[in-house]
Structure 1
Amino acid sequence: METQALKYPAIRNYVAGQPIDTPAAALLDVFSPLSGAIISAMPLSSASDLDAAVKAAQAAFPAWSATPIKERVQIFYRYKTLLERDMKALADLVREENGKTYDEARAEVEKAVELTEFACSLPQLIQGEFLEVSKGVEARAERKPLGVVASIAPFNFPNMVPHWTIPNALVLGNCMILKPSEKVPLSAVKIAELLKEAGLPDGVLNVVNGDKTIVEAICDHPGIAAVSFVGSTPIAKTVYIRATSNLKRCVALGGAKNHLIVLPDAHPEMTASNVAASMSGCAGQRCMAGSTMVGVAGIDHIVSKLVEEAKKIVPGQNLGSVISREAKERIERYITEAEAAGAKVLLDGRGAVVPGHEDGYYVGPTVVDYVTPDMAIAKEEVFGPVLAILRTKSLDEALAIENANPYGNAAAVFTQSGSHARYVMDHASAGMIGVNIGVPVPREPFSFGGWNESKFGACDITGKSSIEFWTQLKKTTTKWNPESRVNWMS
Structure 2
Amino acid sequence: MKYPAVRNYVAGQFVDDSGSRSLDVFSPLSGAVISTVPLSGMAALDQAVTAAKAAFSAWSAVPIKERVQIFYRYKALLERDMKELADLVREENGKTYDEARAEVEKAIELTEFACSMPQLIQGEFLEVSKGVEARVERKPLGVVASIAPFNFPNMVPHWTIPNALVLGNTMVLKPSEVVPLSAGKIAELLKEAGLPDGVLNIVHGDREIVEAICDHPDIQAVSFVGSTKIAKLVYIRATSNLKRCVALGGAKNHLMVLPDAHPEMTASNVAASMSGCAGQRCMAGSTMVGVGAVDSIVAKIVEEARKIVPGHNLGSVISKEAKERIEQHITEAEAAGAKVLLDGRNARVAGQEEGYYVGATVVDYVTPDMRIAQEEVFGPVLAIMRTNTLDEALAIENANPYGNAAAVFTSSGSSARYVMDHANAGMIGVNIGVPVPREPFSFGGWNESKFGACDITGKSSIEFWTQLKKTTTKWNPESRVNWMS
Name the structure 1 match of 2:173.
178
Aligned-residue offset at 1:487: 1.4
Name the structure 1 match of 2:347.
352
* Alignment of structure 1 residues 312-461 onto 2, 5 Å: 312-461=307-456
Aligned-residue offset at 1:453: 0.2
In structure 1, the residue corresponding to 2:277 is in which secondary structure?
helix
Residues 1:471 and 2:466 aligned together: yes
Name the structure 1 match of 2:11.
16
Decide which of 97, 107, 113 is 2:108's aligned counterpart. Answer: 113
Residues 1:274 and 2:269 aligned together: yes
Aligned-residue offset at 1:25: 3.0
Looking at structure 1, the residues matched to 19 and 438 of structure 2 have their Cα atoms a distance apart, in angstroms, of 43
Q: Which amino acid aligns with 1:300?
A: D
Looking at structure 1, the residues matched to 300 and 92 of structure 2 have their Cα atoms a distance apart, in angstroms, of 33
Maintained 8 Å contact 1:25/1:46: no
Name the structure 1 match of 2:191.
196
Aligned-residue offset at 1:26: 1.6
In structure 2, the residue corresponding to 1:61 is in which secondary structure?
helix
Looking at structure 2, the residues matched to 167 and 348 of structure 1 have their Cα atoms a distance apart, in angstroms, of 41
Name the structure 1 match of 2:281.
286
Decide which of 248, 254, 271 is 1:253's aligned counterpart. Answer: 248
Looking at structure 1, the residues matched to 204 and 115 of structure 2 have their Cα atoms a distance apart, in angstroms, of 28
Looking at structure 1, the residues matched to 390 and 463 of structure 2 have their Cα atoms a distance apart, in angstroms, of 37
In structure 2, the residue corresponding to 1:334 is in which secondary structure?
helix
* Alignment of structure 1 residues 79-98 onto 2, 5 Å: 79-98=74-93
* Alignment of structure 1 residues 209-224 onto 2, 5 Å: 209-224=204-219
Q: Which amino acid aligns with 1:133?
A: V
In structure 1, the residue corresponding to 2:242 is in which secondary structure?
coil
Looking at structure 2, the residues matched to 60 and 489 of structure 1 have their Cα atoms a distance apart, in angstroms, of 39
Looking at structure 1, the residues matched to 450 and 308 of structure 2 have their Cα atoms a distance apart, in angstroms, of 31
Give the number of equivalent residue pairs: 485
Name the structure 2 match of 1:167.
162
Structure 1: 4+ residue segments shifted above 6 A? none
In structure 1, the residue corresponding to 2:222 is in which secondary structure?
strand
Residues 1:49 and 2:49 aligned together: no
Percent identity over paired residues? 87
Looking at structure 1, the residues matched to 376 and 203 of structure 2 have their Cα atoms a distance apart, in angstroms, of 28
Aligned-residue offset at 1:464: 0.1
Looking at structure 2, the residues matched to 186 and 246 of structure 1 have their Cα atoms a distance apart, in angstroms, of 30
Aligned-residue offset at 1:24: 2.4
1:342-368 residue CA offsets vs partner (Å, 9 max, x unmatched): 000000000000000000000000000
Q: CA RMSD in A?
A: 0.4
Decide which of 73, 81, 88 is 1:78's aligned counterpart. Answer: 73
The TM-score with structure 2 as length reference comes to: 1.00
Gapped regions of structure 1 (runs ≥ 5): 1-5
Aligned-residue offset at 1:265: 0.1
Looking at structure 1, the residues matched to 325 and 42 of structure 2 have their Cα atoms a distance apart, in angstroms, of 32
Name the structure 2 match of 1:3.
none
Decide which of 295, 302, 306 is 1:300's aligned counterpart. Answer: 295
Looking at structure 2, the residues matched to 400 and 382 of structure 1 have their Cα atoms a distance apart, in angstroms, of 21
Looking at structure 2, the residues matched to 106 and 26 of structure 1 have their Cα atoms a distance apart, in angstroms, of 32
Q: Which amino acid aligns with 1:307?
A: V
Decide which of 104, 126, 132 is 1:131's aligned counterpart. Answer: 126
Looking at structure 2, the residues matched to 404 and 232 of structure 1 have their Cα atoms a distance apart, in angstroms, of 19
Name the structure 1 match of 2:305.
310
In structure 2, the residue corresponding to 1:250 is in which secondary structure?
strand
Q: Which amino acid aligns with 2:427?
A: M
Gapped regions of structure 2 (runs ≥ 5): none
In structure 2, the residue corresponding to 1:41 is in which secondary structure?
strand
Looking at structure 2, the residues matched to 227 and 410 of structure 1 have their Cα atoms a distance apart, in angstroms, of 23
